[in-house]
């Protein structure tokens, strides 16, 4: 339980730091740019808005995989919940979705075998996925 709290705390702190550092000042509305300059600025903004790989997210995804392999399902579900709203690159989002599916599959298998911990974690994950 302490490990889960620590993981959630570290990930939440990282999220706060990442969001605080990522704020960009809005361009002044007084500056009217020609079409070519506006298009170049839009392209630059689009590149800047695309998330880049975050070492902290990748480390959390690896830790999530280890928790799943160790059958520490409550901690794995906690990590999934924490990582849900983290800004992720498309690669990291794919990894997250894959880990989510692996967790769902592992929980279903263990719960069907009568593991009460897996059953409780499966219910918690179900509430997370349905938003209830």
> Model-level pTM greater than 0.85?
no
User: In this predicted model, what pLDDT tens digit does every residue of 74-121 receive, in sequence order?
Assistant: 999 999 988 888 888 999 999 999 999 999 999 999 999 999 999 999
Residue-wise pLDDT tens digits, 43-82: 455 444 445 568 888 898 899 899 989 989 899 999 998 8
What is the rounded distance in angstroms from the CA atom of residue 78 to the CA atom of residue 44? 36
**Count of beta carbons in the 10 Å neighbourhood of residue 107:** 26
Report the pLDDT value the prediction gives residue 33, as an integer from 0 to 100: 46
Domains of the chain, by residue range, sit at 51-132
Place of tokens 């969001």: 19
């Amino acid at each position: 339980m302490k490990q889960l709290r620590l993981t959630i705390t570290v990930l939440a702190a990282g999220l706060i730091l990442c969001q605080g550092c990522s704020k960009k000042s809005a361009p002044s509305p007084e500056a009217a740019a020609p079409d070519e300059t506006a298009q170049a600025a839009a392209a630059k903004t689009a590149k800047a808005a695309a998330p880049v790989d975050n070492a902290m997210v990748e480390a959390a995804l690896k830790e999530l995989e280890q928790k799943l392999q160790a059958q520490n399902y409550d901690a794995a579900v906690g990590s999934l919940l924490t990582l849900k709203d983290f800004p992720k690159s498309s690669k990291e989002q794919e990894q997250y979705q894959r880990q989510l599916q692996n967790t769902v599959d592992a929980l279903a298998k263990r719960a069907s075998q009568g593991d009460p911990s897996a059953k409780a974690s499966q219910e918690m994950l179900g509430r997370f996925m349905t938003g209830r």
